[in-house]
Structures are given as structure tokens and as C-alpha cells.
Amino acid sequence: MKQLITRIWQRWLARRLPPNTEITLSHRSIFILPSGFGLIWLALVLLLFLFGTNYQNNLVIGLSILLLSLFNTCILYSYNNLAGLHLRASMPPEVYAGETITFPIQINSNHSSYHINLGYPNNHSYTLKQVGIDEVQALVPFEHGIRGLVTPGRLKIESFYPLGLCRTWSHVDLAITHLVYAKPIEAPLQLEATLDHLREQPPTVAGQHVAGIDEFKGLKPHVLGESLKQVAWKQWAQGRGMLSKEFEQPQGKPVWLILRPNPKQLETQLSQLSWQVNKLSQLEQHFGLWLHLPTGENIILSPAVGNSHRIACQKALALYPLNPQHPQAGAPPHSATANPPFYGNEFVEKHRQLTQSGSK
Amino acid sequence: MSRSKNIAATKTITAPQIGDNISRQTLFWLLLTNLAVLSPLFDKTTPWTLGICAICLLWRIGIYVGKVAKPPRFLVTSLAVGAAITLALVSGQMGVLNALINLLILGYALKYIEMRNQRDVRAVVIVGYFLIALTFIDHQSMLSTVHLLAVTVVNTCVLVTLYQSKHRLRHTLWLGGKLLLQSVPLALLLFLVLPRFAPLWLVPNMKEAKTGLSDTLAIGDINKLTRSTELAFRASFTESTPRHTELYWRALVMEDYDGVTWRQENGIKKLQQDALIFPPSRPSPAQQVSTSTVDELRNKAEDNQAKTNRPKTQVYRYQIIAEPSHQPWLFGLDVAYSEDTAVVNLPDYRIFALRNLDQRMSYQLDSWPNATMDLILSPRQRDINLALPDNSNPRTLQLANQFKQTYPDAKQRLVAMMQYFNTEPFFYTLTPPMLGPQQVDDFLFENKAGFCVHYATALIFMARATGLPARMVTGYQGGEYNPKAGYLSVYQYMAHAWAEVWLENEGWVRFDPTAMVAPNRIELGFDAEFTPEDSYLKESPFSSLRFKSTPWLNELRQRFASIDYYWSVWVLGFNQERQNKVLNHILGDVTKTKVAVFMGLCLSLIGFYIAYSVGLFHRKRERDPISSRYQHICLRLAAHGITRQEGQGPNHFAEQIIKDYQHQAPNFCALFNALTQSYVALKYQNLPPKAYQQQLRQFNTTAKALNWRLIRPSNLLK
């Protein structure tokens, strides 16, 4: 029964307040009801009215009526506080499973609005003390335990201004979708050179030298932002200017991070891969990612180096289909997300899209 | 764990905690509220309540300044429990309501130091409102209402601080005040139309020192009242106001005399006590007049009454607003009858309040000055009103006997007794010499000096001694007329006592021996007999009645008094009846649909007003005020036939106007030129702030001046 009501409510909300990346609050989207304190307030009004009646005291009756009227005024004030509020979603920073996602939301108002709480269901809310014509950013937290695509659902915008008598709120869907990367777990680097058991050999890059850490290659002019560890201090002391030592490593054999899914430990495997991807990227190591899908297909990211490669790898790991038997796979009770199982082409397609948008 | 800087940055950002702790600003306003709410209740608190409140306040100030820590919870709890138990124990002594008020005050003060989160703040605010309401119970003057409204604003400001970001005192006060001010119109409307009910159940009373007349009367008692400048009640007559000599306000009838003290007779006392459960009833004199059973008797009585030239059925209709006396006595002229639900009509032709007058009470009543009281006297009543204390005042009895022998006719005898006070050298004074145990003898034959009670007692004693039933009536005599608002003020110093004697065929007839000794007191009023400074002003150095002697000050006093009077009538005494009157005045016949339409109209008007002032309507008009002002003037000019061409710049427009109108209206041209200069400077030059402000001021004054010129067509070319 409760579920049915919730479903009907959600459907009604979706019709009334369709998802959009930019939303301006108006009478269509603002709801007002007395808060708990407001109900106590009304009880006080009634009590004072009875009190005044029993003592036949018009001033007490007058006070009770004034408080009632004040309640009415507050309804208008609280509506006005939210009306005209303009919300815009922007790109959240990257996040790993188990961490709190903070969705940055840009807000401004065509007048002054006060004391606005923004929050996702079952999460802490972010309070903005004042919003004016100039845009401010609210960082709305969202706890999410598992990797994959996250749609946080409807953002609740709530205010008790001016006296806390009325709860004015709105549920807006800012059409946010975000990818949560697998939680990194420290593990030994397991780079594999060959993939014997595979019939299909990965594209070979043998004999090439790629930037690496093993062998000294030469000197090049220092670029601002490069690690100070690589600066050739000796040459600098000699007055030859700021130079960086360049290293390389022989690409004798390609280095691969490979996932051979073990249904019982899939998440741990992915987590360890996630850590390795980050580690290798930090070390500026050349590597590729090879993921075996349960369907027998493979996801292959050719060896490369750099941040965009790292992001592409993380995305591939994050989107790896959840194991239905795995305890973590069941959707957490509060989550508004369902991780759709991506298989085959569909998954690859999705992955490509995300990679492209990530490298922007 | 290593991550890119990007990720590391995200981790440090945490959502700020929802402010559940109390801000300093809130604490400051709470300090103010605590003082503001509790100070008017000062007279209700017991000394130790006051002490605890003071300690709590000091502690809170300590917390605010940061010198003291919060008290441990168990201390506060044990204090609260202790206070509640103590108050419950002494509630019999101090009155249930007083005990409750004290309990509430204590709870308020203790919660105040114990406050931890915003919920506690809200609780304190709610109790604050309730305490304000309690204060209203016996502070009902206009001044204290204004004061308490200010306290309400302060109390509301505490709530404002919970949700406001501006930390300036005046911003908080401004918003709190604005919220309440904008709520006033709707409140007034609701006050006007909301139905009023009779008390729904019995509520505990205040235990207060009683003021005014008492139900026992020893000879010195009225004397005390004549020293009081306090207002007793006010009366406004709908048609004619009776003459001063007729203003005998009856409040109490006393029939029991023990030689020293007059008391109410037990039968009446019982009636009064049981009035709430078995309200005694007395037919209205209006019905009495028409009933045939008494007609015969009436015909006989008519001969005697014929001397008075007024018709028998004359009725005075008037309203009385009685000041709180904490006693149930009400005041009425002669045979008084009231249909008010809170008023009981007693069989001795008095009226009586069902509940003590703990606050101002207004009631409507009718008086029949010529109606007869008790044409037939029951044997019991006759006995009571003939009773004399044993072995008392032998000389008076002797004198009475003489009267009886000389004047066998009752009426003549009474007239002779009254004359006796006039012919013998009696002296009317508020400071009579002491009396011995034989009070009446001492007064009549030794001192020959006294005031109303002395004279009335002597007359009643003699009347009873000669076989005429007589009784003592106390109340007030006279009244000060306020011509501004047309009502009579009766002060405590106008307290009076007189006699009523029962005569065959006439019933109880009023005899006031004081009128024989000091006729001016009855005809012209108290002031004609005594100088105020020697009597009622003696002990009230700050009474406004002092202004009586200076005409303009007296007028001012009366003006203030009439404002207070209207306040009492229209606010404090606003009841179902007045409500109907007002609605009748506005709507004609009051029907449900009419009231509904009226309400709807008013509500929507008020709604629009608040919505407008909140800013719901002028969202889209947020244009640059400078441009809109300039546009406005251009529109005005267009109305005069001077139109600005599409795309014509302001400078060009000004040049065109100067070219066309330089000769006809040089002043106007100069003004418009100045306006254009300022406008262009403000819009298109990047001025430093100071110069901008200066230019803006100039622009505004010029625009104002131009606007004035353009309002009327004839002004343009002058």
C-alpha cells in the first residue's frame, strides 16, 4: 500500500516537475504545509482563544487571533522565500564507492532568499544562509556505497523561513547522473605481459620505448608543474637552466591489467584494479586494461598513459556489470539508483559515451 | 592511498552541519525577551520565584558573556520538581491561578538556562506567548496593551533570529515588527467577525486584595474609600443622563446590625453564594408593570407617587464598565435589571456578578427609578428589618419614642427625623471624633459630627425603633460627567451610604439624611463639600484628578479618560452584542451569506496586501530605476504632446525640446536639460561611487520637480 502511494506520488511528481538541468521554482513546484512547530503554534492559538473566552478577556482573544494571523503571513513569506529560486546542476568531481558524493548545485534568486536546506533523501542537507541575485554554489552531499552509475533522484529544497511555522519545500530532479568509481583497495601491481590463454593477442607494441621510470633517456626543458624530483639539479647548479630528466622504459612487452572475474571476489578484484590504475597513472606507467565479461566478451582499453586514460579505465571498471549473487550488488535500501546491467555492445557503447564526455 | 589533486580537494569539502545549536544573536534576543516577558508579571510572582528568576537571568548573562558554564541537567530538573511541589502545597493559600502563573514563570526561567538546542528556544518562545496572555488578565489598559504588543514583537524576534542571516539587531527587529504589523489587518478582521462565546468552563480566580465596597460596614469604613482616587466604574446612558441628585448607585443592602457593624442578611448571602448553581431570578420591572396582580396595589400607591412629576414607567438604559474590584458587587440605579448572562438579578433589586470582577466588566442594564420595591413585605423580612441590638443606645430609643408619639403617621415621622438632622447643629465631616460603645447615642447627642454612615445608621436605628422596617444601602453617589465621550465616571471617593425605609403602599423608599446635613454633597457632588486636597487627594499625590483645578489640564485629563473609555467599550467590552451592532452597521441585515461575502472580500484584500508587500507581484518589474524614471517622464511629456521619436537619443530629444520651447517655457527647458545631463552621466559614464551618488541625488530631485510640473497641463508652460 505504502509502496503504491509512493509510486503514484513519484509519477505525479515526474509529470508535474519533469527532470531538467535548470529549474526555477514557482507555484507549480512549491509545497507548503505547517511544520511540527507550526502545529504546536496552532494549538497555542486555540489554547489562548479558549483561555480568553473563559476569562472573557478580549485582549487574550486578540493575541490569539494575532498569532493566527501571523501564521498566515508566514505562509506567504515562506512561499516567497522559495519562489524564483533558480537551480542549476554542474559537473560533480570524481568519486569512489564508499565516499560521499558532493553534487555542486548553482543557485541564485531574483530577490533574497534565506535559510534554504538542500538535500537528497536520507542524506545530510546543505544549508544556505542567504541566496541573492549572485549565483552561489551549494555542495549537496550524497552517500553512495557502490560503484556504478548514480542518479541521486529528486533534490529536496526546504525552508522554514521566517519563523519556522511552515515547511516550504520542493522536490526537483536536476537530471544528474554521475559515475562512482570502484573503491580502491591497495594491492600489489599485477602487470601481465602475456595473455597466453587468450587466442586473440592484444595489439603488440613490443620494442617500443615509452615514457617510464626505469631508464634515463635524456634531458628536456623543465615544464612548470613537473615533479621537482625529476629536475636535473646538477645541471641547474651548473647554470644550464632548469632541465628535467626524462626517463623511459622499454616497451619490450606490453603491460596489462587483466580482470579474470571470480564471482565471489569480483568487487575486491575491481577495487584492486581501481587502485592499480591510479597507482600506475601516478607512476606515469604505460598500461592497458583488459576486462573479461561474464558473457565471454572483452572490454579492452589499449595501453596508454595519462589522466584521460586513467579516467577511461576507471569508468570501465565502474561500469563493469554487478554480480547478481554478490551481497553488494543488491541495491542499498536508500539508493535511488539501479545499476542496469550492461552487457556486450550496449555496455561498450555506454562506456564510449562516458569516456568521450569525461575527456572533455 | 594516492589520488589526483582533484579528488583530494573533494574530500576536504564537507557539508556544514545544520545549525541546531543556538546562535549568539538568538541568545541575545532571549535575554531581552526574558526581561520583557517577566517584568510585567512582577506583581504576580512570589519573592522566591522572583529570586530564582533573577538567578537564572544572571546565570544566562554569565553564559552569554562566557564566564559560566551551563548548569547540570539534574540541578535544573530537581529545582523544577521542587518548585512544582512547593507551589502545589501553597496553591490553596495563593490561589490556583497564581500558583499556576508562578509555576509557568519558574518553568520559563529554568528552561531558559537549560536551553541546548533550537527546540528549547521554540519552547521558551511558546511559553513566552502564554505568559504575555496571562499578563493581559489584569493589565488591560491601552498603555499596557501597547507595552505587551512590544513584548510580543520581541518574543517573535527570537524566532526570527533562528532563520535570519543578517546579524544586525535592527534587521531582526525590523523583520519581526514587519511580520506582526502585516498580520494586524487580518487579525482585526477576525477580531470583528469571529464569534464570541460565553465561558466554556469554570476557571480558577486570582486571589487579589479586594478594593471598593465591602459586604460588612463598620462606621469608619466608607471614610477610607473617600481617600481613594481610583475609578470605580463608568456609566454611559443611551438617552438622558439622570440629574446628580438621582445618581444613587446601589451596590449592597445590609440589614443585619449588631450595634457596631452592618452586615448582609444571611438569606441574601446564601443566594449570592449559590448564584452559580441556582441563579436567583427576579422578574423584570417591565413585566411587573404589566402584570394585573400588582395593578390594584399599584393604583393605591399611585396617589403617593403622583407628587413626582415623572411617569412611572420611566426607564434609564445604560451601560456600565466596572473596574476590577475582585468582588462580585455590581452597581445600578434604583430598581435595576440586567439581561446579561454574567449578571444575576437579586431579589433586593440589586445586581450581582456571577464571578468576581478580576478584570474590567461591562454590562448593559435598565433602571426604573420610579418602580416600587417590595410592595408586600414578608413577616421574616419585616422582623429582620426591625431588629435592634439588645440594650443599646437608650437615649436614641427615647428620642425615637418621642418622634413616634408626636408623629403617628409613618411618613411624617420620617420627614421629621430627617428634619432633625437639619435643625440640630450636626456637622458633616470626614474625620469624625471617636465613638464609644453606644455608637448612635454618642453620635446623636455627644459628637453631632460624622459622615454618611453615621447619619444613615442613626436614621435606620430610629426608624426601626419606631416600628418602621429600615435597612442600610451602600454604593456610590454622583459621578463626574465627561462631555467629550458622554459618560459618567464614578470614583471610589464617591462611596456613600444611605437608608431605605419600607412604607405601606410604597415599598422601600430611599432616605438620605446626608442630604439634610450637607445638601451640596448630593446636589453638586463631593467636591462641593470638601476640598479634594483635604480628602481624596491627600494620599494620592500623583493622581491625575489634581488637574481638575486647572481648566486646560482638566480638559486634557478628560480627553485621555475618554480615549480610555472608548478602549474599554470597543476593545475590552467587545462582545456578541457589539459585534452584531458593528456588523449591522456595515452590512445592514446580518445574514450568513453576507458575512461570508464580506469575509471573502476582506480576506482577499488582505491577502493581496500581504502578497504585495512580501514582493510576490513585482518580480518582473525589476528594471533599472533610473531608466524607468526617465521613461516615466517621457510618458508624461507624451501626454502633453511632446513625443520622443523612435530611436531618438536622450541628448537629441533634449535639444529638440529646447529648440521648440525655449521661448515659451525656459524654466522647464532648463530642468529637462539638467535631467538629461544627469541621466546620460548616470547611464553612460563610468562615474566613481561618490560622484555617482551625487549625480543620482541630482537626477532624483530634478525628476521630482519635473514630475510636479507635468502633473497638471497648465503648469508646463509657466
Q: What is the CB-side half-sphere exposure of residue B510 using CA atoms within 13 A?
A: 25
The set of cell numbers assigned to B593 is: 451569506
Residue B343 sits at the chain A interface (C-beta within 8 Å): no
- Say what the pLDDT of residue B168 is: 80
> Which has more confidence, A142 or A322?
A142
- The rounded distance, in Å, linking the Cα atoms of B358 and B323 is 8
Could you tell me if the ipTM is greater than 0.90?
A: no
SS (H, E, C) B455-520: HHHHHHHHHHHCCCCEEEEEEEECCEEECCCCEEEEEHHHEEEEEEEEECCCEEEEECCHHHHCHH
- Residue-wise pLDDT for B135-146, tens only, equals 988 788 888 999
- Say what the pLDDT of residue A204 is: 45
Local confidence band at B14 (pLDDT 50, 70, 90 cut-offs): very low
Does A329 have pLDDT greater than 50? Answer: no
- Say what the pLDDT of residue B309 is: 42
- The rounded distance, in Å, linking the Cα atoms of B159 and B29 is 9
Local confidence band at A360 (pLDDT 50, 70, 90 cut-offs): very low
CB contact under 8 A, B183 and A55: no
- Residue-wise pLDDT for B581-631, tens only, equals 888 888 777 777 888 888 888 888 888 877 776 666 655 544 567 877 888
> Which residues of chain B make contact with A139, given a CB cutoff of 8 A?
13, 15
Whether the Cβ atoms of residue B333 and residue B366 lie closer than 8 Å to each other:
no
Amino acid, res. B323: E
Low-confidence winner among A285-294, B266-275, B306-315 (lowest mean pLDDT): B306-315
CB contact under 8 A, A63 and B203: no
Nearest to A127 among B19, B145, B186 (CB): B19
- Say what the pLDDT of residue A207 is: 42
The set of cell numbers assigned to B628 is: 524607468
> What is the pLDDT of chain A when averaged over all its residues?
79
Find the catalytic residue in B452, B454, B527, B669: B452
- pLDDT > 90: percent of chain B: 12
Amino acid, res. B299: N
- Residue-wise pLDDT for B486-529, tens only, equals 888 898 888 889 999 999 888 899 999 988 888 888 777 777 77
- Say what the pLDDT of residue B312 is: 58
> Which has more confidence, B458 or B647?
B458
Burial of B7 (0-12, 13-18, 19+ CB in 10 A): middle
A-contacting residues in B 581-620 (Cβ below 8 Å): 607, 610-611, 614-616, 619
> Which residues of chain B make contact with A96, given a CB cutoff of 8 A?
7
> Which residues of chain A make contact with B358, given a CB cutoff of 8 A?
55
Chain mean position to CA A245: 38
CB contact under 8 A, B16 and A127: yes
Torsion B645-B646-B647-B649 (CA) sign:
positive
> Which has more confidence, B487 or B205?
B487
Residue B201 sits at the chain A interface (C-beta within 8 Å): yes
Find the catalytic residue in B56, B442, B496, B669: B496
The predicted model gives B241-247 an average pLDDT of 87
Hey, of B6, B10, B127, B605, which one would you mutate to test binding to chain A, going by the most A CBs within 10 A of its CB?
B10
Low-confidence winner among A64-78, B389-403, B626-640 (lowest mean pLDDT): B626-640
**Nearest CA to CA, how far is A59 from chain B (Å)?**
6
Local confidence band at A340 (pLDDT 50, 70, 90 cut-offs): very low
- The rounded distance, in Å, linking the Cα atoms of B46 and B106 is 11
- Say what the pLDDT of residue A198 is: 47
> Which residues of chain B make contact with A186, given a CB cutoff of 8 A?
1
CB contact under 8 A, B15 and A102: yes
> Cis peptide before A162, with omega less than 30 degrees from 0?
yes
CB contact under 8 A, A93 and B156: no
CB contact under 8 A, A99 and B11: yes
CB contact under 8 A, B15 and A160: no
Which chain B residue is nearest to residue A94, measuring alpha carbons?
B7
- Residue-wise pLDDT for B525-546, tens only, equals 777 777 777 677 766 666 777 7
- Say what the pLDDT of residue B618 is: 57
Whether B496 is catalytic is: yes
Residue B14 sits at the chain A interface (C-beta within 8 Å): yes
Local confidence band at B291 (pLDDT 50, 70, 90 cut-offs): very low
Whether B452 is catalytic is: yes
CB contact under 8 A, A58 and B571: yes
- Cα B130 to Cα A63, B110, B444: the distances in Å are 10, 16, 58
Does B242 have pLDDT greater than 50? Answer: yes
Nearest to A162 among B16, B175, B194 (CB): B175
- The rounded distance, in Å, linking the Cα atoms of B365 and B340 is 8
> What is the pLDDT of chain B when averaged over all its residues?
81
CB atoms inside a 10 Å sphere around CB A78: 27
**Nearest CA to CA, how far is A32 from chain B (Å)?**
15
Name the 3-class secondary structure at B119. helix
> Which residues of chain A make contact with B137, given a CB cutoff of 8 A?
55, 57, 60
Nearest to B136 among A59, A102, A186 (CB): A59
Residue B48 sits at the chain A interface (C-beta within 8 Å): no
- Residue-wise pLDDT for B270-282, tens only, equals 888 888 778 777 8
Taking Cα atoms as reference points, which of A253, A145, A257 lies closest to residue A190? A257
- Residue-wise pLDDT for B348-399, tens only, equals 888 988 888 877 888 888 888 888 888 888 899 899 999 888 888 889 999 9
> Which residues of chain A make contact with B159, given a CB cutoff of 8 A?
162-164
CB contact under 8 A, A51 and B133: yes
SS (H, E, C) B2-39: CCCHHHHHHHHCCCCCCCCCCCHHHHHHHHHHHHHHHH
Q: What are phi and psi of B117, to 5 degrees?
A: -135, -175
Spell A211-236 as b/e; 16+ CB within 10 A means b.
ebeeeeeeeeebeeeeeeeeebeeee
> Which residues of chain B make contact with A184, given a CB cutoff of 8 A?
1, 3
> Which has more confidence, A241 or A31?
A31
Residue B574 sits at the chain A interface (C-beta within 8 Å): yes
> Which residues of chain A make contact with B203, given a CB cutoff of 8 A?
54-55
CB atoms inside a 10 Å sphere around CB B557: 18
- Say what the pLDDT of residue B151 is: 94
- Say what the pLDDT of residue B330 is: 92
DSSP alpha helices (H): ranges in B194-328?
A: 221-225, 266-273, 285-290, 295-305
**Nearest CA to CA, how far is A258 from chain B (Å)?**
21
- Say what the pLDDT of residue A67 is: 95
Nearest to B18 among A58, A117, A310 (CB): A117
- Residue-wise pLDDT for B183-202, tens only, equals 998 899 888 888 888 777 76
Does B458 have pLDDT greater than 70? Answer: yes
Burial of B273 (0-12, 13-18, 19+ CB in 10 A): exposed
Which chain A residue is nearest to residue B622, measuring alpha carbons?
A110
Which chain A residue is nearest to residue B616, measuring alpha carbons?
A80
- Say what the pLDDT of residue B715 is: 54
Helix (H) or strand (E) holding B251: strand B248-254
Chain mean position to CA A10: 22
CB contact under 8 A, A54 and B122: no
Does B9 have pLDDT greater than 70? Answer: no
- The rounded distance, in Å, linking the Cα atoms of B157 and B386 is 67
Local confidence band at B5 (pLDDT 50, 70, 90 cut-offs): very low
Nearest to B179 among A99, A162, A184 (CB): A162
The predicted model gives B241-253 an average pLDDT of 89
Q: In the A/B pair of chains, how many CB contacts fall below 8 A?
A: 180
Taking Cα atoms as reference points, which of B379, B439, B414 lies closest to residue B498? B414
- Say what the pLDDT of residue A301 is: 84
- The rounded distance, in Å, linking the Cα atoms of B284 and A236 is 120
> Which has more confidence, A179 or A242?
A179
CB contact under 8 A, A117 and B615: no
The predicted model gives B462-481 an average pLDDT of 91
Local confidence band at A200 (pLDDT 50, 70, 90 cut-offs): very low
CB contact under 8 A, B616 and A124: no
CB contact under 8 A, A62 and B16: no
The predicted model gives A242-255 an average pLDDT of 66
Nearest to B190 among A68, A95, A102 (CB): A68
Indicate yes or no: pTM above 0.95: no
Does A359 have pLDDT greater than 50? Answer: no
The predicted model gives A124-129 an average pLDDT of 87
- Say what the pLDDT of residue A346 is: 46
The predicted model gives B421-439 an average pLDDT of 84
Hey, of B7, B156, B172, which one would you mutate to test binding to chain A, going by the most A CBs within 10 A of its CB?
B7
**Nearest CA to CA, how far is A44 from chain B (Å)?**
7
Taking Cα atoms as reference points, which of B471, B472, B458 lies closest to residue B400? B458
Name the 3-class secondary structure at B269. helix
- The rounded distance, in Å, linking the Cα atoms of B500 and B468 is 10
Find the catalytic residue in B441, B512, B527, B564: B512
CB contact under 8 A, A54 and B199: yes
